[in-house]
């Protein structure tokens, strides 16, 4: 089982971890790691009809992560990045506050995260700090609630579901707009399911409902 928040010290990542570099003056609103490790930012244009134009590189060296997820961990309204390194280390790249160079040095906030099939972050509990949702190969769903301390945010996970092993993609996000993250997931057959947050943090995700098909055509 993973342990979180065991070290609060700020440190530079080892050479094997990504050490992002920055170059662009763009607001943070969309990010994507590429196969070659480039971190690209597609800033929302302000036009919902054509929100994402050309991406710009805001970092490199991100290819070695097992999982990368973007959410506001620190509660300042700017998205941070959580990465699970190949050795299971959980690293937090907190937004610096400077949109021109948002992500500097990562800080270790946990170990033992290598064994998950899916790692996604969003605010499940509604306190404006992102929690981490994981799926294990045995299908168990865990929520690691942010404890309130940004230096050691994730101290332990609670098993809050089972039977999630059939999904090939799992993403936590507030689809319904109530301030508590829901979960959307796809099956390899392309079916898209939505699990809405029940309002009860101890049993947030009950029965999902089918809300789409054909999602297996996406890369
Ligand atoms: Ca933040
Ligand atoms: Ca939270």
State pLDDT tens for residues 175-214: 999 999 999 999 999 999 999 999 999 999 999 999 999 9
What pairing do the DSSP bridges indicate for beta strands 131-135 and 192-195? unpaired
Per-residue pLDDT, averaged over 26-52, amounts to 78
Q: Which ligand is nearest to the CA of 94?
A: 1
Q: Which ligand is nearest to the CA of 72?
A: 1
State the pTM of this model: 0.84
Residue 14: both structure tokens together: 């080892």
pLDDT at 31: 59
How many angstroms does the Cα of residue 23 sit away from the middle of ligand 1? 20
d(CA 193, CA 185): 5
Of 88-97, 100-109, 161-170, where does mean pLDDT reach its minimum?
Answer: 100-109
**How many CA atoms lie within 13 Å of 45's alpha carbon, on the beta-carbon side?**
9
Question: What is the SS3 assignment for 217?
Answer: helix
Residues with CB under 5 Å of ion ligand 2 are 123, 125, 127, 129, 131, 146
Q: What is the mean pLDDT of the chain?
A: 86
d(CA 11, CA 75): 21
Give 101's pLDDT tier (boundaries 50, 70, 90): confident
Q: Which ligand is nearest to the CA of 123?
A: 2
Q: Let me know: does 33 contact 26? Beta carbons within 8 Å.
A: no
Residue with tokens 């306190």, as numbered in its chain: 127
d(CA 20, CA 12): 11
Q: Which ligand is nearest to the CA of 71?
A: 1
Residue 42: both structure tokens together: 């597609």
Strand partners, 70: 81
pLDDT at 16: 40
Helices (H) and strands (E) in the chain, counts: 0, 16
Q: Please name which of 184, 186, 180, 187 lies closest in space to residue 203, comparing C-alpha atoms.
A: 180
pLDDT at 189: 97
How long a stretch of residues is the chain?
A: 219
CA-atom Rg of the chain in angstroms: 17
How many angstroms does the Cα of residue 94 sit away from the middle of ligand 1? 6
Per-residue pLDDT, averaged over 121-129, amounts to 98
């Amino acid at each position: 089982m993973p342990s979180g928040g065991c070290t609060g010290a700020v440190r530079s990542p080892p050479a094997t971890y990504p050490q992002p570099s920055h170059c662009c003056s763009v607001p943070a609103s969309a990010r994507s790691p590429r196969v070659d490790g480039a971190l690209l930012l597609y800033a929302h244009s302000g036009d919902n009809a054509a929100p994402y134009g050309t991406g710009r590189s805001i970092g490199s060296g991100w290819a070695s992560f097992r999982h990368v997820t973007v959410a506001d961990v620190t509660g300042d309204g700017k998205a941070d990045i959580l990465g699970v390194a190949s050795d299971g280390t959980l690293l937090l790249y907190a937004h610096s506050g400077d949109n021109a160079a948002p992500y500097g040095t990562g800080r270790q906030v946990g170990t033992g995260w290598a064994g998950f099939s899916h790692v996604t972050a969003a605010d499940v509990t509604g306190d404006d700090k992102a929690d981490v949702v994981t799926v294990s190969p045995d299908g168990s769903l865990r929520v690691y609630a942010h404890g309130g301390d940004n230096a050691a945010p994730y101290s332990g996970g609670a098993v809050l579901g089972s039977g999630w092993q059939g999904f090939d993609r799992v993403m936590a996000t507030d689809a319904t707009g109530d301030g508590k993250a829901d979960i959307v997931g796809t099956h390899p057959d392309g079916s898209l399911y939505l699990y809405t947050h029940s309002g009860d943090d101890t049993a947030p995700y009950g029965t999902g409902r089918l809300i789409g098909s054909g999602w297996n055509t996406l890369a």
